[in-house]
């Protein structure tokens, strides 16, 4: 631990965290540390957890340690966010730790996870089907808030920590919920871990070594994955990522799985809920099946849907996309979500003008103004140049294989009578076609966000 830093210690009042707080306090003068104890009463165990709060506060007062405590109604948070009690408690706890770090300009958050915790975590994640870094267990050090989290006790067993408490006359609080078989972690701790320790009393060191080796491998593979994902991702916005299916499925399968994890880390902003091999396989199966469209729901409201060669991962469903409508000036620029349209008027056609799907020319005198740019409406159809009758815009999108997530934001140009003049980048209508008698030419240019 470096000298001269501010260390926030997460303290529950149990043997592990009390030993850690005592250990850091012992190093305070030698390393010129500023030590702060941070305690959370999750309000899940009634009087017992309230007494834990008082115990930690009194201990800190006696030892001259700055105390920061909070009472959080985790049950209410759990219901509001539809989480398990353990996940809800963890989110509330770490949010408080982050607040304490910011308040005191903390450099280090020290937590008391030990070697036995590591064994339990790695077995539990294996059972639940974790992938990648998830299988590696609890990291010794990682970035957090304004600084880093460290876990200096990962090299120690529970027995060694209990011995430290005895040697230093520490009388910790005991959380009776640790002895119940209600939670998977407790069942592993009370039933499986003793068997492993009989085979090898230092099993926690073997698991820790395995964790560190796996993390090294995963970090290397993550760097390779990031390089591949730069080729796969089409657009990357807050809460929304669009990727190319064909490019993703042509990357090596191990990188496909890790690419999915990297995208989730970005979208969930690092707070990824429990994603298992089942979710990953469902995602890859969705992309690889022969159907041109499909959808998948992931935890915490993340939606996945595909259409042709594009796949969208977003917290906004397809139906939530917001429409727009704005006036298109005959001379000027209008900007919208998909890009922009530029209007110019000429008395004769410029020699440099190159016609393509992103440019149309109209006879200005044949147009009913004002022109509007809007998103599609139910039942939209248009009279196409070179065809009889009308064609539904929905059918036009399907024939041109426009991704479903793009259709609700695609610009449509209509005249003053509400008739569709142009679907930029796709087709124009029969309206206002120029002729040899045209005296004023309106030229519209479409530039999408990627051009």
Q: Which residue has the higher pLDDT, 85 or 212?
A: 212
- Both tokens assigned to 235: 């657009």
pLDDT of residue 247: 93
Give the DSSP letter string of 176-221: GGGG-SSSHHHHIIIIIHHHHHHH-TTHHHHHHHHHHHHHHHHHHH
Residue 216 lies in a domain: no
The percentage of the chain sitting over the pLDDT mark of 90, rounded to a whole number, equals 59
Segment of 107-111, 354-358, 407-411 carrying the highest mean pLDDT: 107-111
Confidence of residue 26 (pLDDT cuts 50, 70, 90): very high
For residue 219, tell me if it sits in a domain: no
Q: Are strands 293-298 and 310-314 parallel, antiparallel or unpaired?
A: unpaired
Sequence-distant (6+) residues with CB within 8 A of 174 are 14, 15
Instruction: Tell me, yes or no, whether 347 and 367 share the same domain.
Output: yes
**Can you list the alpha helix ranges (DSSP code H) found in 301-378?**
none
* Contacting residues for 67 by C-beta, under 8 A, at least 6 apart: 36, 37, 39, 56, 57, 60, 61
Ranges 196-205, 233-242, 387-396, most confident: 196-205
339 and 241 within one domain: no
Separation of CA 3 from chain center: 35
> Average of pLDDT values for 197-215?
94
Residues 203-229, mean pLDDT to the nearest whole number: 92
Least confident segment among 58-67, 124-133, 283-292, 371-380: 124-133
| Mean pLDDT value across residues 300-320 | 79
Q: Between 4 and 161, whose confidence is greater?
A: 161
235 belongs to a structural domain: yes
Domain extent, residue 433, equals 321-448
- CATH number for the domain that contains residue 109: 3.40.50.620
Q: Are residues 370 and 331 in the same domain?
A: yes
Identify the pLDDT of residue 21.
97
Q: Which two tokens stand for residue 306?
A: 């595909």
Q: Which of 297, 319, 341 is the last residue of a domain?
A: 319
Neighbours of 47 (CB within 10 A): 7
Average pLDDT over residues 64-88: 91
Q: Per mean pLDDT, which range of 17-31, 210-224, 237-251, 396-410 is the poorest?
A: 396-410
pLDDT at residue 85, as a whole number: 85
Question: Which band of pLDDT confidence, cut at 50, 70 and 90, is reported for residue 318?
Answer: low
The pLDDT of residue 43 is above 90 = yes
Specify the pLDDT at position 360: 93
Q: Residue 246: which H helix or E strand, with range?
A: helix 245-249
Give the pLDDT of residue 321: 53
CA distances from 26 to 34, 60, 110, 207 (A): 12, 13, 14, 29
Lowest pLDDT segment from 148-157, 179-188, 240-249 = 179-188
The pLDDT of residue 330 is above 60: yes
The answer on 266 and 193 residing in a single domain is no
Top-confidence residue, 145 or 40? 40
Confidence (pTM): 0.62
Q: Are residues 27 and 67 in the same domain?
A: yes
Q: Which helix (H) or strand (E) holds 147?
A: strand 147-150
Q: Is the residue at 220 inside a domain?
A: no
In a domain, 85, yes or no: yes
Question: Quick one: 310 and 340 in the same domain?
Answer: no
Does 217 map to a domain? Answer: no
pLDDT of residue 350: 78
Q: Are residues 261 and 373 in the same domain?
A: no
Q: What is the largest CA-CA distance in the chain?
A: 102
User: What's the average model confidence in pLDDT over 320-337?
Assistant: 79
Q: What is the mean pLDDT of the chain?
A: 89
The pLDDT tens digits for 155-189 are 999 999 999 999 999 999 988 777 778 888 899 99
- 386 lies in the same domain as 305: no
Last residue of a domain, one of 265, 292, 319: 319
pLDDT in tens, 415-432: 988 899 999 999 999 999
- The answer to whether residue 214 is domain-embedded is no
Residues 107 and 168 in one domain: yes
pLDDT band at 10 (very low <50, low <70, confident <90, very high): very high
286, 304, 319: which is the final residue of a domain? 319
Q: Are 308 and 326 within one domain?
A: no
Q: Are residues 97 and 124 in the same domain?
A: yes
Based on the fold, state whether residues 328 and 291 are members of the same structural domain.
Answer: no
In a domain, 212, yes or no: no
Cβ-proximal residues to 378 (8 Å cutoff; 6+ apart), any chain: none
Give the CATH number for residue 312: 3.30.465.60
CA-to-CA dists, residue 99 to 8, 106, 108, angstroms: 11, 10, 13
Lowest mean pLDDT: which of 22-26, 359-363, 375-379? 375-379
Between 28 and 180, where is the model more confident? Answer: 28
Pick the more confident residue, 337 or 311. 311
| Domain count of the fold of the chain | 3
């Amino acid at each position: 631990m470096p000298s001269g830093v501010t260390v926030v210690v997460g303290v529950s009042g149990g043997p592990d965290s009390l030993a850690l707080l005592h250990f850091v306090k012992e190093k305070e003068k030698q390393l010129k540390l500023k030590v702060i104890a941070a305690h959370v009463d999750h309000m899940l165990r009634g009087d017992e957890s309230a007494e834990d709060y008082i115990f930690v506060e009194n201990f800190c007062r006696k030892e001259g340690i700055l105390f920061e405590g909070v009472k959080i109604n985790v049950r209410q948070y759990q219901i509001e966010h539809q989480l398990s009690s353990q996940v809800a408690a963890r989110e509330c706890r770490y949010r408080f730790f982050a607040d304490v770090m910011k308040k005191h300009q903390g450099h280090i958050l020290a937590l008391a996870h030990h070697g036995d915790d590591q064994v339990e975590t790695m077995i539990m994640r294996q059972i639940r089907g974790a992938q990648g870094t998830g299988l590696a267990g609890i990291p010794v050090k990682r970035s957090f808030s304004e600084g880093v989290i460290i876990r200096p006790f990962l090299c120690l067993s529970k027995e060694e920590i209990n011995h430290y408490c005895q040697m230093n006359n520490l009388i910790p609080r005991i959380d009776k919920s640790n002895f119940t078989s209600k939670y998977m972690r407790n069942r592993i701790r009370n039933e499986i871990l003793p068997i492993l320790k009989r085979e090898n009393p230092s099993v926690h060191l073997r698991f820790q070594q395995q964790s560190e080796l796996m993390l090294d491998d995963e970090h290397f593979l993550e760097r390779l994955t990031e390089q591949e994902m730069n080729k796969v991702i089409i657009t990357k916005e807050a809460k929304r990522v669009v990727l190319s299916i064909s490019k993703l499925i042509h990357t090596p399968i191990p990188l496909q799985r890790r690419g999915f994890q990297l995208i989730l880390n970005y979208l969930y902003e690092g707070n990824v809920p429990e994603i298992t091999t089942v979710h990953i396989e469902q995602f890859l199966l969705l992309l690889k099946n022969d159907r041109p469209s499909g959808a998948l729901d992931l935890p915490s409201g993340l939606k996945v849907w595909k259409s042709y060669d594009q796949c969208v991962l977003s917290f906004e469903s397809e139906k939530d996309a917001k429409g727009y409508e704005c006036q298109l000036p005959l001379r000027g620029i209008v900007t919208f979500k998909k890009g922009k349209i530029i209007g110019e008027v000429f008395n004769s056609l410029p020699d440099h003008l190159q016609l393509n799907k992103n440019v149309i020319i109209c006879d200005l005198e044949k147009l009913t103004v004002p022109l509007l740019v809007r998103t599609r409406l139910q039942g939209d159809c248009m009279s196409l140049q070179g065809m009889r009758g009308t064609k539904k815009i929905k059918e036009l999108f399907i024939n041109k294989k426009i991704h479903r997530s793009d259709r609700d934001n695609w610009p449509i140009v209509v005249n003053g009578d509400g008739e569709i003049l142009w679907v930029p980048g796709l087709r124009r209508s029969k309206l206002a076609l120029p002729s040899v008698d045209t005296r004023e030419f309106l030229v519209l240019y479409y530039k999408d966000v990627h051009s």
